[in-house]
Amino acid sequence: MKQGGKSTKDPSTTPLIVKVGGSLYNRIPDIVPVLNASKRPLLLIPGGGPFADLVRHVQVDNDTAHWMAIAAMEQYGWFIASFGISTTDMIATPITTKVFLPYRYLRLTDVLPHTWDVTSDTIAAWMADTLHLDLLLLKSVDGIFINGILRKQVTGPVESDVIDPFFIPFVIKKSVKTTIINGSQPDRVEKYLKGDLVPRTEIGTTF
């Protein structure tokens, strides 16, 4: 049985898109062994981390800032890879865990708006939609909070600084099953990848 183009196979072995947030820069040495040990083939989408922070502090036009930010993702990707994960610049369903280096592919396709409202979160969502895979966002928080309460499920647009403004409308429109968990807790990442429940926010219209 399929839903939204995605198979309902055993989630503990199904390929998965994983966005590794830039705020987790200092935790990468602890996170990478967990990702490498996963039975699920993972395609890791890097955030921008401190490399993107530099871009935010220069005065350039939107087009220039966009490509500088994509280059920042590439640098963060190489940083993640330096702890023992192979890289790829091809869009394909992973059969082993790899870090995606986005600059070359996105220069060729240029599919998303050039604005800070579209960050690496939405780029990861676009890739999940392209490959018909679920998406996991690793953040430095447990998920999306509304009035101080963790929202376990989000079915429509909400204001949050956890993700970019373009993200929720995109994943709902494209039916990309999305989960946000706290990547700064490697034990939670390990449990989630094994199919266990952890504190999280799920985004979508069907659960």
> pLDDT over 70 for what percent of the chain?
92
User: Is residue 125 within 8 Å of 135, Cβ to Cβ?
Assistant: yes
Q: Is the pLDDT of residue 63 over 50?
A: yes
User: Is residue 153 within 8 Å of 205, Cβ to Cβ?
Assistant: no
Count of structural domains, the chain: 1
Tokens describing residue 56: 């935010």
pTM, full prediction: 0.90
Return the CATH number at 64: 3.40.1160.10
Q: Is the pLDDT of residue 65 over 80?
A: yes
Q: What is the DSSP letter of 58?
A: S
Lowest mean pLDDT among 27-31, 63-67, 128-132: 63-67
Q: What is the DSSP letter of 73?
A: H
**Residue-number span of the structural domain to which 136 is assigned:** 2-203
Place of tokens 């995606």: 100
pLDDT digits over 159-188, tens only?
898 998 889 999 999 999 999 999 999 999
